[in-house]
Structure 1
Amino acid sequence: MKFCTSCGQKMENNSPFCKACGAKMETKKPGRTRTASTASAMPSLASLSKRTKILIGSALLVLILCVSLYKVGEAYTDKAKLMENFEEQLEKGNADELLALLSPKEDSGKITKKNVEALVGFLKEYPDAKETLAAQLKDNAKAYDATAVTASADTGETQQLVTLEKRGKKFLIYDNYELVLQPFPMTIYTNYDDLTFYVDGKKIKPASVEGDMVTIGSYVPGDYDIKAVLKSDFVQLEKKAEINHVGPTDTDLLFDIDYVSVNTNVAGSSVFVNGKDTGMKVDEEKYIEIGPVLTDGSMTVQLKKDMPFGKIESEDAPIDSNQLTLGLTLAHKDKEKVKEGLKRHFLNLSKALANQDAKFFAEDSNDVSEFVTDSFGEMTGEDWKTIGYVSSIEVDTDALYLEDIEGKWFATLPVRTKWMEDSVYSGDPVSLSEQSSEDSYSLSFQNGKWSVESWGYIWSFDDEHAEEIKVDTKALKKQLESSPAFTSIKAEQSTDEVESFVESYISASVEAINHRDYSIVSGDIDSSSEYTTIVSDYIDYLDKKGITEDLVNIDVEKVEPLDDGSYHVYTFEEYNIHYDDGTSKYKSFDGKYKVTSTSSGLKMYDLVSTEEVESKDL
């Protein structure tokens, strides 16, 4: 049954109009029919073609891929992760990784590993600075998060070593963040104008000059070699410094410039500064002024001159004062020629003393000064005579000093000599002993060689710089002892001296026997004779037998000089001899001894013979 939707009256099932009000009735189609109609409007997946299915799947895949790539790119360009990686590599000190993370500021040049290493080294040395940098980078990130305004490509001047900066887009859609290593001004303070500056060997033009402050430019952190160059009239002056440039740096390059007065010992010497000839010459007053030059010791000055006796030069001295004294001296090979002159003098003097004749000074074409001749005359007077030979020569050529006196060149140096010598009065015995002397010797250059001119006393001799001039002492001793003058002096010795020596020797022999000590008498025996062994063996023999003796009396009956300068001495000797069995005997002997006269005095050479005169029990 149906009802009218307008008046509510009951209607017949098949009537299209309401009989009460005449309203038309709308008949709804069955739901099944509507569903079928909808299904026919939207085809099922199974009814789609294969091509359509592929297109729909591809579209969905592209959509998913785009979303994924966006998320990956978003993570890749994330500034938080960039800073986290930077801090991690900084903590590790990984310069290579940090180099890849850092970007240069525009127009500041390429960043190198050395720049990064300088930054790492600075932050390692100053942990507070590293903490400050980390905080500053976080502040940079917060600033970008808080504003939608796009940052400029580079920030202005900053005190921050590394900054986080947004530089355009990456992949067209993402904000691009970079860690920028900031350059800082490098300032030089100097005290001279018109300087040329170099950084790591490259000439640069300063960014600004304000009085004594020169701003070289802005440089990223690193170790730099800077140099300021000043050109004077005759030399180029340089001042260098090594800078660890992290943050703004100030460096002093002050030139210690002055004019320097140089005094020397040779006029006409050429002046060399830093090894280069300046063309300047020392004046006749042996003085010169050079400059302007650095007086901080970084520059050197040297004087040189060619002479007939070789090239002379001073030390290459640092200029560290405005007053310098430089002495020119001989080269090593030319100093050897001075040593040859000294040796020639001392050998000639030894020969002259041995022969008591000044003519030997002139041997080997040696030039003999008046001073040398007069000094030798004083050593070989009528009554007192010096006799001997040189046994050692030492010189200090480091202290050699050259001087030009009225056109004549002199070389003066300390000399220490040792002599075996004695000064004897006529008729006295010769007893040579070692004598030492330290003097300053002056040699003049004449006829192509150095000859001793004079000598005088010095206070001390520097052992550290002593150089030995070797001499043949055995040959010199033989030369002395075989010379006629020495033999003549020996012949003049009185027999009393010989008698006294023999008496002393026999007395010492008895003491040596009783003490069983050969050394008591060894110094009185000629070491070149076999008598040394005989006496030593005799003392040992008496020791084994237990024999001792007392010297009762000795008479020297005769002293006979021999042609070779030795003596035969005849004696009468009396002894009380004690044996190990407790018995004693008196014995007397006639003895004959040979005594030699040596450079060390009288010596017992041999017991030529001995004959028992009397023997009796005590």
Structure 2
Amino acid sequence: MKFCIECGHQLSMDQEFCSECGTKHAVEQKHVELRVENKGRTPEKKANKKKKGMYILVIVVLFLMMSGYGGYLFGKKQTGPEAVIAEFVHAVENNDVERVMQAINLGQTDVNLDIETTKTYMDYLNKNNKLFSDSINELKKQGENLENSTSTNNEKFKNELFHIRKDGKTWFIFDRYVIEAKAYKVKVASNFDDSIVYLNGDSRGTVMKDEYLNIPSILPGEHEIKVVYKGKYSTLEEKVKLDFSKAENQVLQADLTLEGKYITFSSNYDDARLFINGKDSGMLIEEAYDVGPMSTNGSITVHAEKEFETGTMKSREVTITSDYDINLDIDYKEPEPAPELVPQPEEEEEEEEEEEEEKPVVDVWDDDYFTTFMQEYVAYSVAAINNNDFSIVQNFLNPNGPAYEELKKYIVYTNEKGITEEFLSLEVGDIEPVDQNTVKVTTLEEYEIYYKDGTSKYKKFISNYELVYYGGNYRVHKLISTEELEEY
């Protein structure tokens, strides 16, 4: 700051004349030059600041763009098919029922899984590990196809268990992918009209013979189909575990054959009445032709009855274990009038007695008789074993022979071990008469043996029997030998 040297008025540093008195004053050159220099740098400095601001703005924008794109890629990866498949596989391998159920239900259109169905489905996946692994690999290929193109065609990928598809958006940005488990259709058939079909114990309707009942939307797993026919004389039942490896084009066919037989009865009295399980069937023997269907599992017994002057007489009681025709003869003798007492020479009486003793009781050369007898004996033996009831077969055995006690003990043994048998076939080979009352018979027998642990074996035997005449019929006296020919 400076003052006028004449009037003392205050002047600015660059003021050359006093505004009060007009006196001229010298101006410092150095200061002037400094001001000039400062005035020359001001625009450049402002330009530098503006340019720097632009750089910062660009950097910020680029950072935000890169962050947004990175976030997009991250989100896309987290919601993409690869992540969805990996999460599903992890849930299955770790037995996470809730997560598997949620994942499958999200992608299903016609199946709604509950906890039990999901567990069954997961058990199937874990037991069929190779099938599961192959299906997951195919699923990944499907996912890549969907993610890298606009195509949604999964037909070119062979996958028996799943396929993956797009299903809307996630967060309004990313494609949502869901896994859809392939459901099967089960076609059930029966050999009897009006058979009731059950799936895992639940009735699914009735089916007619030569037709199919379709059960849709079944996920693979441990499922049981049961068919029940309620007939006049018995209830027939058959069940099977579904094997989804036999399915074709997602369709599994289950043909169940009920073992109901139609049987013809005969007797020495056509007007005798037929009784089934102790109840009058309403039929005479002469009317009992192709009666059925009847179960051959030993649950049905039959006999014939007829009224005579002396009272009601019955035939033997027969348990039905095969489809052979059944004879129900009634052992009844008409009362004979009292014979006239005519003196006879003692010698003649002795001759008549000798002749009566020598008279043949059965023709030992009758092959048909012994073939039928052995078939019935083996069938009734199996029924006795499966029902733990020796009385079913005891009338075929000579009570004085070793076979009687042997078979009785064997029935007890099989019951204790939980063994049952299925009689498949019998062929009679040699029939060799030893004398008028003794015959040796050779048989070829086939069985399916079922054990307590659920396993079974096919067995084939060749056996030799000794039959003796006892109580009016030939009966098994002894099992001479038996040899196992095949087993698998």
TM-score (normalised: structure 2): 0.45
Larger Rg computed on CA atoms: 1
TM norm structure 1: 0.37
